Structure 1
Amino acid sequence: MCGIVGGIALENGGAPNFEVVQAMCDSLTHRGPDGEGLLTSMQFELNNAKNVQEIKSDRNLWLGHRRLSIIDLSTDASQPMVDTSGKYAIVFNGEIYNHAKLRKELESKGIRFKTSHSDTEVLLNGLIFEGKNFLDKVNGMFAFCFMDTANDYFLFARDRLGIKPFYYSVINGVFYFASEVKALRKVPGFISEIDETALLDYFVFSSVKAPRTIYKNTSKLCPGHLIEMKAGRIGSERPFWDLKAISKRKTNLQSETDALLNYFDQSAQRRMIADVEVGVLLSGGVDSTANLGMLTKHSNQPISAFSIGFKPEPGYQNEFKFARIAANHFGADYHEIQVSYEDFIRDLSESIGFQDMPIADSANALIYRIARTAKEKGITVLLGGEGSDELMIGYSYWSFASKYQKLLKESKSKTRLVSSIHQLPLINKKRAIYKNWYRKTLDGYTHFSGGTETRSVEIARSLLDPDAQRRVKDYNPLDQIQQMYKDFIQNDEFDYFDWMTYLDLNHRLPELLLARLDRMTMGASVEGRVPFLDHELAEFCFSMPNEFKFQNGIEKYLLKKSFEGIVPNEILYRPKEGFLLPLNEIINSKKTKMNRLVSEARQRFGLINENASIEASNSGHQNYNLLNMAIWMNEHEN
């Protein structure tokens, strides 16, 4: 994994320069401390630069790369990489897990390689000889810029599930791109004005959905999308993969149980491919324990596993008990990290800079602490369990959302009736989430807006100052979700479970869970990998009948059946608790300081309502959402 940057002159545009692209590269040193390289077509600047390659092109350009060496540690695999003809080049962030297989296919066609086993060179040659269709063959996580100088053509692409980031902005007639926005901020003329509609999105969803970002003139490439540039003219984003194109299958439980285990086994083996040591983020839940089990199966030495939790406090219990069970069961080299509230607050402040864009996931600081510890222990790759809950129906409230849909079928008259019944004293306090759903149904929106939803649109608006509220009065963050829903239900073979899976795979995962994994691990120069989000495994899970995933009131039923005899039963069938985090206690322990940070952000940006404060909500997640934005604002220039 690495950090990539670049500046490419558009038609009749300006020209990037060495100093700017060098500064962009320097800002991503944490993503690639093992090496740096630059590539340019602007020959007159070469005498002033180090580690610079030249490529002949009529298009003014600079490409840059920061390297975290994981596959093929030799300098031959350094980037930017130019092919043997000198006509093609690539800067690439990520891993191609099936690169060995693809290399053999390309070699059988007469293509020669200069490296021993670089996945970058496989991607480069595949794109040269097969074009963007080569992406259909690639299994991996990636974000890249590929160039064909002979045809003045550039291809930019991001992996199917959005594991790797890709940001871009047009500034002074130049198309700039980078793995993180902090690199784009180094470009003179970068517009750092906050998009108020994106800020409203953040207060509702704890992040901003692609293609937008928190900044007005900066975009991020959507998962599974590409952009082409020809003769200096930039095209629009287009999908090269979409999960809703996958058809549902008719099958039986036993065959699916065996097949799921096989798919996951293959995925785990792929994610062990590295020339450095691979470890595991271990929570003591089913998913992280499955990761540990599969890695142990295919390793001849103990796997390093890392677990984190808070020191014992009244009313709080960490998950160390289950992490220890898993570690002992598989003979792992187990590392346990205990943190205090003070540690968390300190790590939160330190990790904000690595968030890059505001990501209000309360596990950010803890993942950052684990990654730092792992790096100190010599681990450069960590496997996480993200994606399992979304693919295999791992959330209990999804069953309520499905029942709600079957009962009301988006009928406003039925909703009014049921809503009025819900006001009766004996049931008024039950299923409180339904009340938010009633409002959305009556307003013409589907009730499930994703697992990122932190607060209602109405409450989110109240966090904005009055002037900002007036400017965004005609914007509703739910509109983007509703448009996705309308497109999705065109296929009548999908049910509401499919919708929830599809939405969270396109929103919650790339914008929150995968973003936190990438930024926090890379903040410590560690690569995060996600076996459950192998795209072949994702397609298999999405296409299977949902009654296999949720059965007899058991979430992830098929997954648990598949792992019987592998994952210890006391872990496999224990109630799901998620990552236990005493947010209210942490925030309230420093309430005065937290409110001061909110006040400082209000004074600097003038976008937050004077009534917005930690005391305004009794929800730890809502307070963390506000606090995270305040700290982020205070860390960034207006």
Structure 2
Amino acid sequence: IVCIIKNISPNSKIKTFSAVFPGKNIDETKYINEVIKRTNVISFLTTPTPTMLFQDLNDVIKTQEEPFLGTSIYAQYSVMKLAHKNNMKVLLDGQGGDEIFAGYPSYINPYFLELFMNFKWRFLVSQFKWYFRTYRNMSPIFFILSRPGRFFLKNKSKPFWIKKSFFQSYSSSKKFKNSLSQRLIQDLTYSTIPSYLRYEDKNAMRWSIETRLPFLDHEFVEKTIFLPAEYKIRNGITKYIFRKAIKDILPEKIRLRTDKIGFATPMDAWLKSELFIELTDNLIDSDAFKERIYWDWKKVKKEFEKYKNNEKNISLDVWKWII
């Protein structure tokens, strides 16, 4: 978005706000610097820490008004806070671009499945060869051969710490058809985007900021969502047509990326900090926690001990217990 604005209006004075995590494998500072070199924007950075999260936790919960998915919501909260401190009132955000143009690697499976179900087997073979050169991964083939359609029709698996009776009472049975477009529509209207937008709107409003989402302009979505699947994923490359469209606008180091980090945070490291280990221990041992009807307290206690001893990575589950 920044590069497109600068391409349309070279004299625009643009400020950008980002969360970075120097030294972590999820850090995207080098890509931010590529944009800065190309556009000469004024860049503001924040590096959230476990101490900051601990101090802000009650306010983030109050802001969201509900339990929320993970610590990436706090990173976004921190970005909005930074923008507020710099007197910003309106921000542009890129939500929706990956869901429209199939930017996540997880969209590869439904794409290959669509080719398979439509008997485009020769093209499927050629596309898999390109995919394998990029990712060195055989999982789409195993996925297709195991049970075509499973990706869309399976029920979500039950977390180990939820009681079976409670899960069966509330689990969703919503199902979607076998095509990439249907998967994208699912994410746009049901699975991901609605919750992402709710998190974003509440974080923004907390800091008196309005956000605008160019990729979710309804006319843009209507024109792009049903483009042929081969326009969106081709030769092992996601967001294929979009990458073509922004050639010479976006730095090549970014345009040709094949990894996808998303709005990630070092959640595991944060939850293993002394502050959060103590918080979680006290929480799990509390009577209020033990009396909850929807989880198996003994399993929770046992698994958290394994987590503390680095025997198991269940950081997302631990976060759910806390929140």
Equivalenced residue count is 294
The CA distance in 2 between the partners of 1:472 and 1:340, in whole Å, is 34
Q: Does 1:447 align with 2:151?
A: yes
Q: Percent identical across equivalent pairs?
A: 20
Any conservation in 2 of the 1:390–1:504 contact (CA below 8 Å)? Answer: yes
How many angstroms does 1:400 deviate by? 2.4
In 2 relative to 1, CA 574–432 (structure 1 residues): closer, same or farther, beyond 3 Å? closer
Residue 597 of structure 1 contacts residue 627 of structure 1 at CA under 8 Å; is this kept in 2? no
Alpha-carbon contact 1:602-1:609 (below 8 Å) kept? no
Task: Give the drift of 1:299.
Answer: 7.1
Contact 2:21 2:47 in 1 (8 A): yes
Q: Does 1:464 align with 2:162?
A: yes
Identify if the C-alpha distance between structure 1 residues 520 and 619 changes in structure 2 by more than 3 Å, giving closer, same or farther. farther
Q: Is it true that 1:306 corresponds to 2:17 in the alignment?
A: yes
The residue type paired with residue 18 of structure 2 is S
Q: Is the 8 A contact 1:498 1:542 kept in 2?
A: yes
* 1:396 CA drift (Å): 1.8
| CA distance in structure 2 between the partners assigned to 1:594 and 1:319 by the alignment | 30
| Cα distance in 2 for residues equivalent to 1:472 and 1:361 | 20
Q: Which residue of 1 aligns with 2:277?
A: 591
For structure 2, the residue ranges without an aligned partner over 5 or more in a row are: 119-136
Give, in whole Å, the separation in 2 of the partners of 1:523 and 1:317.
26
- Please list the CA deviations of residues 386-421 of structure 1 after superposition, one character each: whole Å capped at 9, or x if unmatched: 111111111223222333465589xxxxxxxxxxxx
Q: 1:449 deviation in Å?
A: 6.5
2:321 aligns to what?
A: 630
Matched, 1:295 2:11: no
Residues 563, 591 of structure 1: alpha-carbon distance in 2 compared, 3 angstrom cutoff? same
Give a deviation string over 1:373-397, Cα, whole Å, max 9, x none.
1011010111111111111111223
For the aligned residue pairs, the C-alpha RMSD in angstroms reads 3.3
Task: Report if aligned partners of 1:361, 1:512 keep a CA contact under 8 Å in 2.
Answer: no
2:226 counterpart of 1:522: no
Per-residue CA deviations over 1:528-562 (Å, capped at 9, x if unaligned) read 22110001110111132221111111100110111
Q: Alpha-carbon deviations, 1:116-141, whole Å to 9, x = none?
A: xxxxxxxxxxxxxxxxxxxxxxxxxx
Conservation of the 8 A alpha-carbon contact between 1:352 and 1:631: no
- Does structure 1 residue 567 correspond to structure 2 residue 227? no
The 1:361–1:386 alpha-carbon spacing in structure 2 relative to 1, beyond 3 Å, is farther
CA distance in 1, matches of 2:153, 2:212: 27
Q: CA deviation at 1:516?
A: 1.8
| Whole-angstrom CA distance in 2 between matches of 1:317 and 1:476 | 32
Structure number with greater Rg is: 1
Structure 1, gaps ≥5 residues long: 1-290, 410-428, 451-455, 490-494, 633-638
SS at match of 1:336: strand
Q: Distance in 2 between matches of 1:352 and 1:565?
A: 42
Pair 332,403 (structure 1): closer, same or farther in 2 beyond 3 Å = same
Tell me: CA distance 1:511–1:292, structure 2 relative to 1, closer, same or farther (3 Å).
same
Whether contact under 8 Å (2:26, 2:266) holds in the other structure is no
1:455-534 correspondence runs (5 A): 457-460=156-159, 462-465=160-163, 469-473=164-168, 476-477=171-172, 479-480=173-174, 482=175, 485=176, 489=177, 496-534=179-217
The answer (yes or no) to whether the contact 2:166–2:294 under 8 Å persists in 1 is no
Q: Compare the two structures and name the one with the higher helix fraction.
A: 2
Alignment CA distance shift 1:508-1:475 (3 Å): closer
Q: Which has the higher contact order (CA 8 A, sep 6+)?
A: 2
Deviations 1:258-279 (A, max 9, x none): xxxxxxxxxxxxxxxxxxxxxx
Matched, 1:608 2:318: no
